[in-house]
Amino acid sequence: MQIPRSTLKFFLLFLVFTLSSFGQTNKVSKPDFLKYEYNTWVDSVMQTLTNREKIAQLFMVPAYSNKGGQHLEELLSLVQKEKIGGIVFMQGNPEKQVKMMNQLQKASQIPLLGATDAEWGLGMRLKQTISFPYQMALGAVQNEDLIYKMGEEIARQLQRAGLHMNFAPVVDVNNNPNNPVINYRSFGEDKYNVVTKSLAYIQGMQDHNLLVTAKHFPGHGDTDTDSHLALPRINHDIKRLDSIEIYPFKKVIDAGVSGIMVAHLDIPALDSTQTPSTLSKPIVTNLLKNQLGFKGLVVSDAMNMKGVTKGNEPGIVDKDAILAGNDLIEFSEDISKAIAETEKALKQGILTEEDLNKRLRKILAAKKWVGLDNYVSISPDGIYDDLNTNNALLLNRKLTGASLTVLKNKKNLLPLKRLDTLKIASISIGEERQTKFQKTLGLYTRVKHFQLDREAGKREVLKLQQELGNYNLVIIGLHDFSIRPQNVLKLSEEVKEFVAKFSKSGNTIFAIFKNPYVLDKLENIEQAAGLIVAYQDSPVSQELTAQLIFGGIGASGRLPVSIGKKFQLGSGLDLDGGIRLGYTLPEDVGMDSFVLNSKIDSLMQEAMDARAIPGGEVLVARKGMVVFYKAYGFQNYTDTLRVKKDDLYDLASITKISSTLPVLMQLVDEGKFDLEAGINEYLPYFENSNKADIPFRDILAHQARFKPWIPYWKNTLRNNGSFKWNTFKQDSSRRFPIKINDQLWLHRNYKKKIFKAIKKSPLEKEAAYKYSGLAFYLTPEIIERITGESFRKVLDERIFDKVGASTLTYNPVKKFPLSRIIPTENDFLFRREAIHGTVHDEGAIMMGGVSGNAGLFSNANDLAKLMQMYLNMGEYGGQRFIQTKTLKDFSTTQFAENNNRRGLGFDKPYLKYAGEDSNTSKSASKSSFGHTGFTGTMAWADPEKDLVYIFLSNRVIPNRENTRLYKLNTKTKIQQAIYDAILD
């Protein structure tokens, strides 16, 4: 569109008066790249170009690495024949993009400037790359340093992908909730917050030599029209525009931003001719360049958008954009005509050669600044690993976690405490399958999961409501239906009513994985007991929101926008985290992911290849965060059933420190159990035995002269190999109620015979260290006598339910399907069957599966909760279980002077490291403690390195004679690998 010169002259005089409020900013910093405007390389290039070639350098064309050979040929033609200046990469994948860019650069006389829209990183355009949080979520982050680091990382990634310029950030102030095109792409509605976040992002990129483009000048935030589809109009007066829309642009210009993109907008207060701002010289040249003093690259928004193409002819409209003052033109619909029309304007004197040269020098200076004067082709080798580093993934997690915003927390419901009092249900609205959010909730405690279709009708909603009557806490995740968080709510009326009802229930936590503006469309949501805004529906946001609910991480986010009358700008509550295990990447706690993963994977594979174990679970936690948690192999050598992380393993002797020991420590704290008292103090039956008056301190430290073990089941046999009449029967009855297996039922009083055998067993001659499990058959009864409650009830109520260890249990087959329970030995002597679903230890099964010696099953995650409580010196989930001094006493070597390494119940490292014969790795500290199990298990905590290590396997398959795991020393080698991965 051509404005008549007489009209333009009058309008420019008008602007001198009306735009005086914008003024020349006092401290405008020239973009850094401009120092190369008169560089030798720039001069040399300028001398080689014709005027037409100079004009061609102003144009950037789109490239798609997911298109075929014809598209590449078309691009090569534009590069070779038209000699365009740059490429804007769109959809595709990084490997193909790099190869394409190398071909185009090779064909180009002058190195091409490569750009892309990567507002939230390469994931905005390229598959298999990282998407950082959208800017709306980043607007909630209170730590700008994280956003600076994101700028650094995005610069690194774009450069690795062969690019030099990012059409980001969006610095528009989004003060219109119904904005269809900016919205979640903005840092929010507060201009100061927008500026702070924008500057951090810009500085991070520019400090690492990436050109940036603040957009969309003069401000696209208060529109309800998408400029891709039509020309939006902004009717604000100059005073308002200056104070809100243009404010962020002034600040980034002052800070030396390298580029600004001009939007397609109709702004009568700045140009009354209805000319799109991209084509408006009063807006681009007079306001942006002259009044605001911007000296950097002025980039047009895409010239194929309806906001500028309507009523304008391709080619001519691009020339008009150049005449308006734009330096770089992207997405021209007709490159040849655009260059020709611009050359015509040059010959006519409408565009001067001096102006053209000045723009070209800027562009070449920018190319010099990013290193294109010494262009080196980019290797595609290893690009996916280079773009998806653990540090980048960790940064993404940190940004997401920092954005989470808690808007409601009645009665300090969050983070959840007293898990033993809660019966929890979770509902995912809008997802057909169990979500990452729900799976992560399930890591913390037992949760019943439900799905609710967003279009659910009355019958489905009513059925769900009836089922929820059985739960006293409901957690609802509201998920998005689109890949990007639009301000749209697509729920049936019945589902809306369901949300409104539970918002008022007083026992419901809502997690909103959507655009925060949708809160204004949810009735009663402001009355929810708990309300968390996650801003978008990504696996990371789901996982971290679940961790937040249980206190694995904290919250500090603040709303970057106001939500009608429900929530004000800046709303948000701080929540402390770290009260329970969190889940993160090793780098977050000073560990090396590669070392950790490669070494453990290799050692586990070695053990499986050697048939030392068919599979297993390994978990590593440091500083209260689980950083490694994997399941390996199969449940059995003959199985096709793979081990899953929620499968249960027989813990064997780890039962000793996981069942009676924590309760005994509590009873010590309560003054009900005395470590210096003898066994007869609590079991009068032992009053006249050889074990009377032996202190429990000696017993628990395995220095009480007790025999290591008694083969109880062998005592039931006659000489001919059959069972004695008062021991076992093939069928159950009132007298034989204890199930060993379907064909073997034990006499109800046989427990007394076990106790009698322990009582009468001889003592070792010397009071030296001798590992014995005998006393742990007795400790459950001691606990029952002291508490007056059943042992199982005491364990569940005092320990397991409170830490949320739902799989830490005896007789798991009563609670879990057999498919989730890992089998152990093929027993051809006693039970005469493959042991599956019941405890491996013969003595424990004869105690009904419940013993202090063995019998507990668990997955690695739940066992880690108990070990983390120990590592925390008795505290977990915001509750104190055991006093610090008591735990320190129990976890300290008791009789080192007697060459006994043991604590009270806990195992300890050898007093002197003995190489591969040691029970721990060389790096395990002397303050570390834990236990191992006969089935091939290990649980260990190290206070000095703040470590928890869990190893679960069933090495006793096919039978206990399989000792390859010990010969390979797999458990301790993995433990050493964990220490090797520590960087700090």
What pLDDT is attached to residue 9? Answer: 39
List of domains in the chain: 5-386 (3.20.20.300), 404-580 (3.40.50.1700), 597-674+788-901+944-980 (3.40.710.10)
Rounded distance between C-alpha atoms, residue 764 and residue 948, angstroms = 35
Structure tokens at 210: 């990436």
Rounded distance between C-alpha atoms, residue 763 and residue 698, angstroms = 13
Q: Predicted confidence band at 754 (pLDDT cuts at 50, 70, 90)?
A: confident
Helices and strands (DSSP H and E) totals, the chain: 34, 31
Q: Predicted confidence band at 11 (pLDDT cuts at 50, 70, 90)?
A: very low
Q: Predicted confidence band at 12 (pLDDT cuts at 50, 70, 90)?
A: very low
Report phi then psi at 397, rounded to 5.
-65, -40
Closest CA to 534 of 551, 548, 521: 548
Asked whether the predicted pLDDT for residue 14 surpasses 60, the reply is no
Strands 856-858 and 809-810: antiparallel
Rounded distance between C-alpha atoms, residue 177 and residue 486, angstroms = 10
Query: Three-class SS of residue 880?
Result: strand
DSSP string of 174-190, one letter each residue: ---TT-SSSGGGSS-S-
Sign of CA dihedral 667, 670, 672, 678: positive
Name the strand (E) or helix (H) holding 753: helix 750-760
Identity at 893, one-letter amino acid code: T
Q: Predicted confidence band at 729 (pLDDT cuts at 50, 70, 90)?
A: confident
DSSP string of 286-307, one letter each residue: IIIIIIS---SEEEEPPTTSHH
3-state SS string over 337-394? HHHHHHHHHHHCCCCCHHHHHHHHHHHHHHHHHCCHHHCCCCCCCCHHHHHCCHHHHH
Rounded distance between C-alpha atoms, residue 382 and residue 389, angstroms = 11
Enumerate the β-bridge partners of residue 821.
648
Q: Predicted confidence band at 7 (pLDDT cuts at 50, 70, 90)?
A: very low
Name the strand (E) or helix (H) holding 242: helix 238-243
Q: Predicted confidence band at 27 (pLDDT cuts at 50, 70, 90)?
A: low
Beta carbons within 8 Å of 759's beta carbon, 6+ residues apart:
685, 686, 689, 691
Q: How many alpha carbons fall within 13 Å on the CB side of residue 808?
A: 28
Q: Predicted confidence band at 26 (pLDDT cuts at 50, 70, 90)?
A: low
Angle at 557 between CA 556 and CA 562, to 5 degrees: 140
Model pLDDT for residues 160-214, shown as the tens digit of each residue: 999 999 999 999 999 999 999 999 999 999 999 999 999 999 999 999 999 999 9
Could you give the C-alpha distances from 61 to 137, 334, 446, 616, in angstroms and in order? 31, 10, 55, 54
Q: Predicted confidence band at 740 (pLDDT cuts at 50, 70, 90)?
A: confident
Asked whether the predicted pLDDT for residue 353 surpasses 50, the reply is yes
Rounded distance between C-alpha atoms, residue 159 and residue 375, angstroms = 12
What pLDDT is attached to residue 953? Answer: 98
Measured between its terminal Cα atoms, the distance across the chain in Å is 63
pTM comes to 0.94
Rounded distance between C-alpha atoms, residue 965 and residue 604, angstroms = 10
Name the strand (E) or helix (H) holding 473: strand 473-478
What pLDDT is attached to residue 325? Answer: 97
Model pLDDT for residues 785-828, shown as the tens digit of each residue: 999 999 999 999 999 999 999 999 999 999 999 999 999 999 88
What pLDDT is attached to residue 15? Answer: 43
Name the strand (E) or helix (H) holding 654: none
Cβ contact 880:669 at 8 Å: no
Query: Three-class SS of residue 632?
Result: strand
Give the relative orientation of helices 593-609 and 970-980 as an angle to the nearest 10 degrees.
170
467 φ/ψ sector (left φ>0, alpha ψ -120 to 50, else beta): alpha
Q: Predicted confidence band at 958 (pLDDT cuts at 50, 70, 90)?
A: very high
**What DSSP character marks residue 32?**
G
Question: Exposed, middle or buried by CB within 10 Å (0-12, 13-18, 19+), for 718?
Answer: exposed
- Of the ranges 61-65, 227-231, 630-634, 915-919, which one carries the lowest mean pLDDT score? 227-231
Rounded distance between C-alpha atoms, residue 534 and residue 512, angstroms = 6
Closest CA to 548 of 583, 518, 514: 583
Structure tokens at 717: 């046999």
Query: Three-class SS of residue 818?
Result: helix
Model pLDDT for residues 558-575, shown as the tens digit of each residue: 999 999 999 999 999 999
Angle at 244 between CA 243 and CA 249, to 5 degrees: 95
Model pLDDT for residues 515-570, shown as the tens digit of each residue: 999 999 999 999 999 999 999 999 999 999 999 999 999 999 999 999 999 999 99
